[in-house]
């Protein structure tokens, strides 16, 4: 604990986050059918060790105990996602058993004075919809809104805070261009079309939900980075940072807040794959950007690390984004990457190989608030670190590095608030160890350890520290 603790304002929300496919298990129970991750995880070499989310943390059956654990930690709020494949299997009719699970979960949260924070899409598209084109098809945006309204039919009287999409950069470029995430496609055109239809589905859904209930708090969550040139006086370095900022941040921030894609990145992409840009232009219809830029009540910011960039190869260079899909790491998630080089700066690294840069979170929040969000409140909806846990003979987990990471990033959030940014909440990723996408169960982000053989949960040192921060409401 700091010798001079700084306090958060009353009403600031401390929470933790998870995603349906990563924790629920019960993959084919009570009417749930395959999502793209059920399919992708079974493809040879797609996921480390061939792991699947069939059981994961068995949260579907253990949610009452998990909510009790949240209460023990003192969480104000819990961010979870709803499985489209559970609620509308195969993209078809509503599955009442699937909806009933989320009713029970939300009721359990409310009974424990934990605010439910619902995410409609965290990457688990029904496989049947993918078979009909997935996010490259405009019809998927329409089906997404239909699915969202089905969830609202069941939970609209119980849930105030709704997020449409989690990290559309991942569910478009990582998924349809890089092949690192499900469905594993490797096409620049498919990535661009997927990004557009994800954003269109977001905008249409915000409109539809607001039309039903103007009192809802509606938003989207974007994973963003701080892209810096090694030398601000070297044009090639500046250009490398511009391109990553454009492809990673501005490709989503600009249409949401400014009603268009960034012209410089469109030009970059046209030079790399002109047919892909033509396909995107043909897919963009009048009124699309008006829908995409529908005003928000909240913007979620996911931050894990920044990046130092050069236009020339340098000693110690690497690409942190390629580590996320180990077997497919040679495929770039960026449609336009030639001449971009990642440079190490000697910072500590997490178990994912990502640099630990808390002050980057402060700068990112200031930048997003000043240049985009304006009066829209910000929430840090994901921030966390994977490390290899050292479990004592008695079962305790003294995860010193994660504890320091958590404390430093909560403090960085408060730094942004003290600089005038309207940040209203912080969600640690993740509540508990879980299925970490292409890494399977090999990477642990949780403040709660999960023994996957017994499903025993153990609050780590980082979880105890987070509970202390929440109770003190200071860092």
- Annotated catalytic residues are 167, 382
> How far apart are the C-alpha atoms of 459 and 462, rounded to whole Å?
8
Q: Tell me the chain's radius of gyration from C-alpha atoms.
A: 21
> How far apart are the C-alpha atoms of 180 and 303, rounded to whole Å?
19
* Interior/surface letters 297-317, b for 16+ CB within 10 angstroms, e for the rest: bbbbbbbbbbbbbbbeeeeeb
Q: Degrees (nearest 5) of the Cα angle 399, 17, 432? A: 40
Phi, psi torsion values for 130, nearest 5 degrees:
-60, -40
Q: Degrees (nearest 5) of the Cα angle 324, 329, 334? A: 85
In the three-class reduction of DSSP (H, G, I as helix; E, B as strand; rest coil), residue 15 is classed as strand
Contact at 8 Å (CB) between 303 and 364? yes
Contact at 8 Å (CB) between 15 and 78? yes
> How far apart are the C-alpha atoms of 146 and 135, rounded to whole Å?
15
- Listed in order, strand segments (DSSP E) in 410-452 are 423-429, 448-450
Sign of CA dihedral 173, 174, 179, 183: negative
Which residue, 153, 128, 112, 123, is CA-closest to 32? 128
> How far apart are the C-alpha atoms of 247 and 268, rounded to whole Å?
10
Could you tell me which residues come within 8 angstroms of residue 346 by beta carbon, excluding any fewer than 6 positions away?
none
Contact at 8 Å (CB) between 344 and 207? no
Could you tell me which residues come within 8 angstroms of residue 135 by beta carbon, excluding any fewer than 6 positions away?
125, 171, 172, 175, 176, 193, 194, 197, 198
Q: Beta strand 341-342 with 77-81: parallel, antiparallel or unpaired?
A: unpaired
In the three-class reduction of DSSP (H, G, I as helix; E, B as strand; rest coil), residue 445 is classed as coil
Q: Say which residue the tokens 């002050």 belong to.
A: 359
Question: What single DSSP character describes residue 306?
Answer: -
Burial (0-12, 13-18, 19+ Cβ within 10 Å), 402:
buried
> How far apart are the C-alpha atoms of 363 and 104, rounded to whole Å?
39
Q: According to DSSP H, which parts of 91-187 are helical? A: 96-111, 127-131, 138-155, 168-169
């Amino acid at each position: 604990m700091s010798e001079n603790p700084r306090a958060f304002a009353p009403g600031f929300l401390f929470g933790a986050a998870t995603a349906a496919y990563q924790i629920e298990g019960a993959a084919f129970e009570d009417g749930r059918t395959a999502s793209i991750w059920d399919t992708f995880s079974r493809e040879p070499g797609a996921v480390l060790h061939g792991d699947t989310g069939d059981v994961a943390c068995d949260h579907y059956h253990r949610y009452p105990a998990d909510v009790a654990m949240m209460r023990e930690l003192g969480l104000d709020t819990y961010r979870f996602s709803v499985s489209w494949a559970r609620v509308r299997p195969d993209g078809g009719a509503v599955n009442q058993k699937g909806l009933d699970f989320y009713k029970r979960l939300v009721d359990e949260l409310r009974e424990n004075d934990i605010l439910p924070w619902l995410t409609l899409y965290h990457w688990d598209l029904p496989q049947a919809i993918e078979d009909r084109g997935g996010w490259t098809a405009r019809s998927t945006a329409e089906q997404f809104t239909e699915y969202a309204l089905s969830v609202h039919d069941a939970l609209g009287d119980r849930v105030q805070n709704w997020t449409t999409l989690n990290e559309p950069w991942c569910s478009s470029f990582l998924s349809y261009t890089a092949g690192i995430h499900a469905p594993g496609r490797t096409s620049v055109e498919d990535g661009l079309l997927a990004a557009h239809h994800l954003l269109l589905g977001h905008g249409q859904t915000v409109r539809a939900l607001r039309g039903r209930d103007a009192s809802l708090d509606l938003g989207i969550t974007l994973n963003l980075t701080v892209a810096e040139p090694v030398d601000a006086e070297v044009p090639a370095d500046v250009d490398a940072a511009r391109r990553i900022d454009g492809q990673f941040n501005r490709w989503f921030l600009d249409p949401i807040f400014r009603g268009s894609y960034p012209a410089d990145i469109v030009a970059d992409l046209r030079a790399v794959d002109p047919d892909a840009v033509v396909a995107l232009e043909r897919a963009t219809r009048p009124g699309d950007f008006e829908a995409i830029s529908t005003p928000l009540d909240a913007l979620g910011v996911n931050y894990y690390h920044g990046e130092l960039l050069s236009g020339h190869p340098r000693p110690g260079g690497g690409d942190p984004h390629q580590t996320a899909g180990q077997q497919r790491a040679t495929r770039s998630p960026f449609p336009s990457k030639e001449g971009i080089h990642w440079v190490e700066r000697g910072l500590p690294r997490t178990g994912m190989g990502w640099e630990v840069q808390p002050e980057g979170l402060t700068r990112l929040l200031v930048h997003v608030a000043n240049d985009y969000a304006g009066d829209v409140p910000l929430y840090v909806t994901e921030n966390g670190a994977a490390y290899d846990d050292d479990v004592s003979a008695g079962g305790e987990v003294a995860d010193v590095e994660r504890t320091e990471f958590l404390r430093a990033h909560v403090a960085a959030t408060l730094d942004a608030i003290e600089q005038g940014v309207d940040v209203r909440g912080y969600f640690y990723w993740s509540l508990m160890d879980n299925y970490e996408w292409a890494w399977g169960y090999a990477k642990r982000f949780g403040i709660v350890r999960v023994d996957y053989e017994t499903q025993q949960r153990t609050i780590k040192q980082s979880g105890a520290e987070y509970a202390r921060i929440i109770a003190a409401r200071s860092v």
